Amino acid sequence: MANPSILILAGDGIGPEVMAEVKKIIGWFGDRRGIAFDVTEDLVGGSAYDVHGTPLTDATMAKAQAVDAVLLGAVGGPKYDVLDFSVKPERGLLRLRKEMDLYSNLRPAQCFDALADFSSLKRDVVAGLDIMIVRELTSGVYFGEPRGIFPDNEGGRVGVNTQRYTTDEIRRVARSAFELARRRGNKVCSMEKANVMESGILWREEVQWVHDNEYPDVELSHMYADAGAMQLVRWPKQFDVIVTDNLFGDLLSDCAAMLTGSLGMLPSASLGAPTESGRPKALYEPVHGSAPDIAGQGKANPIACILSFAMALRYSFDMGEEATRVERAVEAVLADGARTADLMGPEGGVPVSTAGMGDLIVKALEASL
Ligand code: NAD
């Protein structure tokens, strides 16, 4: 059988720096676990624009469509701020998401014990937290038509966006959430605003339909998204999987992410429909951007990118145990006090560089054998 294939798009700024550490982990799996990946690399974002005059070439797009998983670093930087909107680095990322039809965005909020004091919430509220927010990514108010800024009848203007969801769009992301829940705590909480929005009523009914007809074994609850936001900061451990639309997911996943501390710790996955191989189309990336303020200084925390690879092991390659091995290695290194600059809290720690953190995680993987 062919090796699983990965396309690495390291991108700009700290993207290549953090991705270099992921490559060490991938190499370790080949050398020490006999799990070889066919890895190809290409350009995206500003680095692609510099060479090709576009943030994503058709050839790179075709490669992304053909592999089992895409790993992306980050795109963007001040150098590219002046570019026309159509060739800005972010357009490369948006094209990938759109053409791969990655409708299910998974944002875990996981709090490692060693970093519990980083949260703005009390330690006992966040320590050991492990929840997953599933955000619908390709529809809703960010895409709905009509949209625009139009003259109104009184000489002023009116700004219009349209929240729009179809049965199919809701059902497919709901399935994604129920599938995930079965592999975790078997609970889904769906969030919308059915009290004031028709699209929310439809969302609630369709999620319930998928539950009743296809996943009756999973516990389902519904919550208004504003109440959900409050519950997230009051007692987040009540949740397992939260599924919600594009707009509410944008807000709730950032809110949940901050429960856990640094931006340098947050992975994500964006999944599409299952392909012939049974694997979903998939793109894995850290939540953070290209951090131009620290690029090239060895200060970037590679953990978000490494945990994104762990998500690829779990969700693209069905290697849950190996994913857990990576997560435990990260946990062990943090418990030993190793800290990149962003993790240096008042209690101090052992300062390490980007490469130093990657090396320690490889060491911890080795110790897990
Ligand atoms: P950012 O996430 O790049 O940085 C925000 C802050 O967090 C900075 O102080 C940065 O140093 C720090 N930070 C981020 N990642 C870190 C890491 N791994 N380790 C340590 N510190 C880290 O967001 P920004 O400054 O708003 O944007 C910078 C550029 O990145 C912009 O061009 C923006 O458009 C782009 N961006 C890209 C993505 C993406 O590729 N998905 C996401 C967000 C922003």
Name the amino acid, one letter, at 309: F
82 is in an annotated binding site: yes
pLDDT in tens, 117-146: 888 888 899 988 999 999 999 999 998 999
pLDDT at 261 over 80: no
Ligand 1 geometric centre to CA of 285 (Å): 12
| Confidence grade of residue 259 (pLDDT, cut at 50, 70, 90) | confident
C-alpha to C-alpha distance for 360 and 335, rounded to whole angstroms: 12
* CATH code: domain of residue 8: 3.40.718.10
Check residue 154 and give its pLDDT: 93
pLDDT at 263 over 90: no
Check residue 346 and give its pLDDT: 73
Q: Is residue 277 classed as helix, strand or coil in its secondary structure?
A: coil
Instruction: State if residue 307 touches ligand 1 by the CB under 6 angstroms criterion.
Output: no
What percent of the chain has pLDDT above 90?
87
125 domain residue, yes or no = no
C-alpha to C-alpha distance for 306 and 327, rounded to whole angstroms: 9
124 domain residue, yes or no = no
Atom 34 of ligand 1: nearest residue by CA position: 76
Domain count, the chain: 2
C-alpha to C-alpha distance for 70 and 93, rounded to whole angstroms: 11
Residue 369 and residue 281 in one domain: yes
Check residue 117 and give its pLDDT: 84
Range of the domain at 17: 1-107+266-369
Domain boundary among 217, 239, 259: 259
Residue 147 and residue 248 in one domain: yes
Check residue 120 and give its pLDDT: 84
Positions marked catalytic: 142, 193, 226, 250, 254
Task: Say which DSSP state 48 is in.
Answer: H
Please tell me which residue, 196 or 112, carries the higher pLDDT value: 196
**Average confidence score pLDDT of the chain:** 95
Atom 13 of ligand 1: nearest residue by CA position: 291
Check residue 221 and give its pLDDT: 98
Residue 87's region, left for phi above 0, alpha for psi from -120 to 50, else beta, is: alpha
Closest-lying ligand 1 atom to the alpha carbon of residue 75? 40
In this structure, are residues 133 and 244 in contact, taking their beta carbons and an 8 Å threshold?
A: yes
Instruction: Compute CA distances 87 → 243, 285, 292, whole Å.
Output: 32, 21, 19
Domain boundary among 201, 224, 259: 259
Check residue 277 and give its pLDDT: 83
Instruction: State if residue 185 touches ligand 1 by the CB under 6 angstroms criterion.
Output: no
In the predicted model, what is the mean pLDDT of residues 341-360? Answer: 91
Residue 75 and residue 54 in one domain: yes
Closest-lying ligand 1 atom to the alpha carbon of residue 74? 40
305 domain residue, yes or no = yes
Atom 8 of ligand 1: nearest residue by CA position: 291
Cα angle 168, 169, 171; round to 5: 60
Domain boundary among 240, 259, 278: 259
In this structure, are residues 243 and 184 in contact, taking their beta carbons and an 8 Å threshold?
A: no
pLDDT in tens, 29-81: 999 999 999 999 999 999 999 999 999 999 999 999 999 999 999 999 999 99
Q: Best mutation site among 263, 283, 293, 344 for ligand 1, i.e. most ligand atoms within 8 A of its Cβ?
A: 263
Q: For residue 216, what are its two tokens?
A: 């009756």
Instruction: State if residue 88 touches ligand 1 by the CB under 6 angstroms criterion.
Output: no
295 is in an annotated binding site: yes
Residue 190 and residue 229 in one domain: yes
pLDDT in tens, 280-328: 999 999 999 999 999 999 999 999 999 999 999 999 999 999 999 999 9
Q: For residue 100, what are its two tokens?
A: 């791969």
88 is in an annotated binding site: yes
